[in-house]
Structure 1
Amino acid sequence: MPFAVRYGLAALSLAALAVLSGCASSGGDRVLGLITPYRAEVVQGNVITAEMARAVRPGMSRTQVREILGSPLLTDPFHADRWDYIFTIRRQGTEPQQRRVTAYFDGDRLSRLDAGELPSEEAFVASIDNFRKARNTPTLQLTEEQLRALPAPKPAAPPASQAPEGPTRSYPPLE
């Protein structure tokens, strides 16, 4: 192949690549409107639900608070009587979330917990479940009408004899 043809093909390939990269950057999350690039799920910190915050009471020791809420994400050396629990999540298909819970101590005892508005465990799971909308969840209980429509159970057959079948063997005791 002549040098000019190879040079022309290389230039054409570079031009096509430049056009495609321009489409990818201007289209947001999609490349050519068809392909969505993978975005890593980012979860940082401790998930603290409303049930966990209700379990923590003033007067608890640091160890008790740690057992309920987990280790704090931030312990400030300048504020030894304060633990900061920060939670952030960025998941494709759901809204990003960020929460902050601060535990204040007086010596070794919890004086107060600033939590703000925390979701229940069920509400938190529902907020990050982006597959729930895509699948049809079957109902797991039958209605009274469906229960009546079921056939009656058949009576159980009497049990067969429990005698072992085949030759019986006798082994000497192991010593």
Structure 2
Amino acid sequence: MRLPFPVLPSASALSQALCLVAACALIGCASKNPLMEEPVAATSTPAVAAQQPKAAVPATTGVQTTKEKRLFGIFSPYRIDIQQGNFISQEQLAQLKTGMTADQVRFVLGTPLLNDIFHANRWDYVFRMQKGNGEVISSRIAVHFQDNRVANIDAGTLPTEQDFLSLIAGTTPQASKTATPKVATPAK
């Protein structure tokens, strides 16, 4: 078979080399598996986390925020926000008391995300929100029952509803200001 145009051997080798480099770059991008990445870390930086004392609460409780890594530090595709589970705030957790029935817990916290048949006396409320920018917010609460009454509640430090709204909006949570109420004086 004869080509209609002359092909120089050096141009052919150059185009083959460029195709090989492009194929290797694409294979390297496609071989990144997010399931084999490092586990979810807490919000603090490693230097700050090393200086802080270890908490008695395991790392899987409370709220943790992480960010995904980007390709070459700048490229990332458009991603939607994905929310799984029910968000539980400090205010909702404060309503839970030892001795409440399962129906009362369901009324306050909603339906649990995990109700395992092997651990029928434990309800797990797992919340995970993966924002489009790669930020992951997750929390876990376990309610333990004994004789169909609340016996124990395992939860880390949870944000308030205002803190959660600021996490969704992408702003930093601001400390609640204690405003002194103004007392209206009667007009004379």
Distance, in Å, in 2 between the alignment partners of 1:34 and 1:48 is 34
Identity of aligned residues (%): 33
Cα root mean square deviation, aligned:
3.5
- Determine the structure 1 residue equivalent to 2:183: none
CA 1:12–1:60 in structure 2 vs 1: closer, same or farther (change >3 Å)?
A: same
Counterpart of 1:90, as a letter, is Q
Distance, in Å, in 1 between the alignment partners of 2:109 and 2:83 is 16
Distance, in Å, in 2 between the alignment partners of 1:65 and 1:34 is 45
Distance, in Å, in 2 between the alignment partners of 1:3 and 1:39 is 47
- Determine the structure 1 residue equivalent to 2:145: 105
1:21 aligns with 2:30: no
Of the structure 1 ranges 70-79 and 90-99, higher mean CA displacement relative to structure 2 is found in: 90-99
**Residues 1-175 of structure 1: pairs in structure 2 closer than 5 A:** 1-2=4-5, 4=7, 8=12, 11=16, 14-15=19-20, 17-18=22-23, 21=26, 29-30=70-71, 35-93=75-133, 95-130=135-170, 132=171
Distance, in Å, in 1 between the alignment partners of 2:93 and 2:74 is 44
Shift of 1:119: 0.5
TM superposition score normalised by structure 2: 0.53
Query: Which secondary structure does the structure 2 equivalent of 1:74 belong to?
Result: coil
Distance, in Å, in 2 between the alignment partners of 1:104 and 1:51 is 19
Contact 2:144/2:151 (<8 A) preserved: yes
Structure 1 residues not aligned, in runs of 5+: 134-175
Q: Which has the higher contact order (CA 8 A, sep 6+)?
A: 2
TM superposition score normalised by structure 1: 0.57
Query: Which secondary structure does the structure 2 equivalent of 1:99 belong to?
Result: strand
Structure 2 residues not aligned, in runs of 5+: 33-68, 173-188
- Tell me the alpha carbon deviations over residues 50-106 of structure 1, each in whole angstroms, 9 at most, x when there is no partner: 111112222222112112211111112222111111122232446422211111112
Contact 1:49/1:121 (<8 A) preserved: yes
